[in-house]
Copies of this chain bind each other. A is one copy, B any other.
Amino acid sequence: MSIRVGIFGYGNLGRGVECALRQNGDMELVAVFTRRDPSTVRILTENVPVYHADDAMKMADKIDVMILCGGSATDLPVQTPALAKLYNVIDSFDTHAKIPEHFANVDKAASEAGNVAIISVGWDPGLFSLNRLYGGAILPDGKDYTFWGKGVSQGHSDAIRRVEGVKNGKQYTIPVESALEAVRSGENPELTTREKHTRECFVVAEEGADKARIEAEIKNMPNYFADYDTTVHFISEEELKANHSGIPHGGFVIRSGKTGWNLEHQHIIEYSLKLDSNPEFTSSVLVAYARAAYRLKKEGTCGCKTVLDIAPAYLSPKSAEELRASLL
């Protein structure tokens, strides 16, 4: 019998989960929930119903795991604890500073209901967190480095679009190659924000807008751009559509550490992602952890977990015997 999955929220991430479920033979999409009028939402899978978000509770006995695909700012802090009372849930909550608070809220709800919740699933937080943990545990005398990109930052793209006179825009975060090389060489450099990443913006200006003013406003925007070397390119709407409509991303987690009686030996552990589609990859991680949540629940576990708490074998559809014979 396959694992019955619901999708809560049908944007880029929800569509990604839908695609990922199709790639996993032991899982099945049984319903999509949306806050829009369900009759206006067309999904890719045939013969799967779309319900209104308010009807979520009606499927409690027909869904093994609900995958939440809302945003971290306002959706998930409310939705994950609420739905954890009804379902095993997975979310990709990624406001790093608020994870402890979110964890506590979700843990309370899931524990009381006897459900399993896995939060902050994806690649950062998620796979990158795992690599920071493994790296630090194995090489305690060392230093962690995380670089992001080359990829589209949604938050920075939104910030560009809020500048007066900007019609559309896309921002790429780019790791500085020389900084990456310094880290890989084992130099353990102290790197400033500016030394680690550059930011490249592709901007469509409104007709007659003052481009010099727009460029200056972007480059000096506090938090978003002021601490970085930022490049601004003005392009046409057509060019933006043609060359910058993808959502690629990726990055690097590098642990540089020493071993030996006198710390005389250097080691570099590097983990990197190069992703054509950030939401589809994140969705694929969510789906693998949905399998883990289902299994943990069947074992009688409950409460909130993160990727750090989940034994890797729970993610794979293969049996423990198969895994030992084929992967070790």
Residues of B within 8 A of A306 (CB): 324, 328
Residue contact B284 to A99, C-beta cutoff 8 Å: no
Do B309 and A320 touch across chains, with their CB atoms under 8 A apart? Answer: yes
Q: Inside 8 A of A133's CB, which chain B residues have their CB? A: 312-313, 315-316, 323, 327
A70 sits at the interface (CB 8 A): no
Instruction: Judge if A230 is at the interface, Cβ distance under 8 Å.
Output: no
Taken residue by residue from 111 to 133, chain A's Cβ proximity to chain B (1 for < 8 Å, 0 otherwise) reads as 00000000010000101011011
Given contacts A133-B312, A328-B99, contact A141 B268 (CB under 8 A): no
Whether B260 pairs with A140 at a CB distance below 8 angstroms is no
Verify B268–A274 contact, CB threshold 8 A. Answer: yes
- Closest residue of chain B to A247 (Cβ to Cβ) is B265
Render A285-310 as a binary contact track against B, CB cut-off 8 A, 1 for contact.
10010010000000000000011111
CB distance from A90 to the nearest CB of B (A): 13
* Residue numbers in B under 8 Å from A328 (CB-CB): 96, 99, 120, 125, 129, 306-308
Do residues B288 and A259 form an inter-chain contact, with CB atoms below 8 A?
A: no
Tell me how far the C-beta of A269 lies from the nearest C-beta in chain B, rounded to whole angstroms: 6
Specify the chain B residue showing the minimal Cβ separation from A270. Answer: B272
How far is it, in angstroms, between the C-alpha of A134 and the C-alpha of B275 when the chains are bound? Answer: 16
A99 partner residues in chain B, CB cutoff 8 A: 324-325, 328
Please report whether the interface of chain A is mostly helix, strand, loop or mixed according to DSSP: helix
**A20 sits at the interface (CB 8 A):** yes
CB distance from A100 to the nearest CB of B (A): 5
A33 at the interface (CB under 8 A from B): no
Q: Chain A: how many interface residues by the 8 Å CB criterion?
A: 68
Residues of B within 8 A of A20 (CB): 259
Q: Chain B residues with Cβ under 8 A from A280's Cβ?
A: 259-260, 265
Q: Which of B120, B130, B276 contacts A265 (CB 8 A)?
A: B276
Residues of B within 8 A of A157 (CB): none
Interface pair B271/A324, CB less than 8 Å apart: no
A71 within 8 A of partner (CB): no
Q: Determine the chain B residues whose CB is within 8 A of the CB of A316 once the complex forms.
A: 133, 136-137
Residues of B within 8 A of A277 (CB): 259-260, 265, 267
Report the Cα distance A296→B98, complex, angstroms.
29
Beyond A130-B312, A139-B284, A267-B281: 9 further Cβ-contacts under 8 Å? A19-B259, A19-B261, A22-B261, A99-B328, A127-B269, A136-B327, A138-B288, A260-B277, A266-B276
18 A–B contacts from the bound complex (CB under 8 Å)? A22-B261, A100-B321, A100-B324, A127-B138, A137-B317, A138-B285, A259-B283, A260-B280, A265-B276, A267-B274, A267-B275, A267-B281, A269-B272, A269-B273, A307-B312, A308-B311, A308-B324, A309-B311
What is A's interface to B at a CB cutoff of 8 Å? Answer: 16, 18-20, 22-24, 44, 96, 99-100, 103, 120, 125, 127, 129-130, 132-134, 136-141, 184, 259-261, 265-277, 280-281, 283-285, 288, 291, 306-313, 315-317, 320-321, 323-325, 327-328
